[in-house]
Copies of this chain bind each other. A is one copy, B any other.
Amino acid sequence: MKALVYHGPGIKSWDDVPDPRIIEPADAVIGVDATTICGTDLHILEGDVPECAVGRILGHEAVGTVEAVGSAVTTMRPGDRVLVSCISACGRCRFCREGHYGQCLGGGGWILGHKIDGTQAEYVRVPFAENSTHPIPAGMDDESVLMLADILPTAYEVGVVNGGTEPGDTVVIVGVGPIGLSAILCARLFSPAHIVAVDLADARLEAAKQLGADVTINPAREDAVALVKSLTSGLGADVAIEAVGVPDTFEMCTRLVRPGGRVANVGVHGKPATLHLEDLWIRNVTITTGLVDTWSTPTLLKLVRSGQLEASKFVTHHFKLADIIEAYDIFSRANETAALKVVLHK
């Protein structure tokens, strides 16, 4: 088959590789109908993820059709349409039993396109298949469902739910790239009184407005802390969601929240931040971090299906799978191309 192979920092190609096959009784092989590229794939190509070996097929998101299943798989059969989650789950370890699949101790977690071959290919082997995929209800379109493989559950669980978002809250989202925009869509499910988007790029702030932010702040020319305080009787935001992954934006979040507020970190960080405990110790602040667990995927499927969540709003570009090199180019120059999510179809 054909697949997008990582050949070391900066090098990838669309190669002929052997077809995947069932290895373990709980495996499935899935024919990929649609996949996408994640910011993490770019990190791997920059050489920032040393666990990802040279020769690896990238990609951890897919919508596909079951091709073959192992002997222990009883609830999936060839021909079924499934969502392949970015998180695989052994289903038996302590963390899987608690729903914390992202922390799986039994060989799952984020493994696709990372520790084993991934979804940017014509076929993909998915271990622990019954706990790592979701059946797709009839009538749902591939692109909407594909957004539930990673970005929407991440925004929902690690951002909005960890942030404890409640009706009437003021929620500030710092960084409104694809993940921050997803957080806007997901926050709206809880009817906050205000959704405030903070970003240095006006084009992103414009997109944030269209997706539901009622206040936008560009800290290059506005004082985010002062503006949020003026919205909240001087107290600060109930929830601040960090969706960038650098020290400055994290520290801004800790200044944006009110006493008793919550900072939900979603960003992937490469460096430590400074935590101003000399101010924060007395302010009853809660800070959370997290990799997505995808416990919310069935919930989000219901919400997409019933029309509450317009999951495909982020998809800006569509390609054939065979044109993935071009898709990578467009996606990696998002500032110029205005790409949010690019979808690759079979």
Of the A-B pairs whose beta carbons lie under 8 Å apart in the complex, a sample of 28, sorted by A's number, is A25-B72, A71-B72, A72-B72, A75-B106, A95-B259, A97-B131, A97-B295, A97-B298, A167-B190, A167-B303, A168-B299, A168-B300, A189-B190, A189-B191, A190-B190, A191-B303, A193-B305, A269-B278, A270-B278, A272-B277, A273-B274, A280-B289, A282-B289, A284-B290, A284-B293, A285-B289, A286-B288, A286-B289
Chain B residue at minimal CB-CB distance from A72? B72
Chain B residues closer than 8 Å to A293, beta-carbon distance:
284
7 A-B pairs closest in CB distance:
A72-B72, A269-B277, A193-B306, A25-B72, A168-B299, A275-B275, A168-B302
| A225 at the B interface (CB under 8 A) | no
Which of B95, B193, B284 is in CB contact (< 8 Å) with A260?
B95
| A250 at the B interface (CB under 8 A) | yes
Question: For chain A, which range describes its interface: under 10, 10 to 19, 20 to 34, or 35 or more residues?
Answer: 35 or more
Chain B residue at minimal CB-CB distance from A274? B272
Q: From known contacts A271-B277, A281-B269, infer whether A298 and B94 are also in contact, taking CB-CB under 8 Å.
A: yes
What is the bound-complex CA distance between A72 and B190, given in angstroms? 38
What is the bound-complex CA distance between A189 and B277, given in angstroms? 28
Chain B residue at minimal CB-CB distance from A246? B277
Chain B residues closer than 8 Å to A267, beta-carbon distance:
281
- In the complex, what's the smallest C-beta–C-beta distance from A4 to chain B, in angstroms? 24
Chain B residue at minimal CB-CB distance from A103? B259
- Interface residues in A296-346 by Cβ distance below 8 A to B read 298-300, 302-303, 305-306, 308-309
- In the complex, what's the smallest C-beta–C-beta distance from A343 to chain B, in angstroms? 24
What is the bound-complex CA distance between A270 and B278, given in angstroms? 5
How many copies, total? 4
Chain B residue at minimal CB-CB distance from A254? B275
Extra contacts besides A98-B260, A272-B278, A287-B287 (9): CB < 8 Å:
A75-B92, A91-B131, A95-B259, A100-B259, A168-B299, A194-B306, A284-B288, A284-B291, A286-B288
| A117 at the B interface (CB under 8 A) | no
Q: From known contacts A190-B190, A273-B277, infer whether A303 and B168 are also in contact, taking CB-CB under 8 Å.
A: yes
Chain B residues closer than 8 Å to A245, beta-carbon distance:
281
Chain B residues closer than 8 Å to A260, beta-carbon distance:
95, 98, 100, 103
Chain B residues closer than 8 Å to A306, beta-carbon distance:
168, 193-194, 214
Check B298 against A277 for contact (C-beta < 8 Å). Answer: no
| A207 at the B interface (CB under 8 A) | no
What is the bound-complex CA distance between A167 and B152, given in angstroms? 14
| A99 at the B interface (CB under 8 A) | yes
- Interface residues in A58-72 by Cβ distance below 8 A to B read 70-72
Chain B residues closer than 8 Å to A26, beta-carbon distance:
72
| A143 at the B interface (CB under 8 A) | no
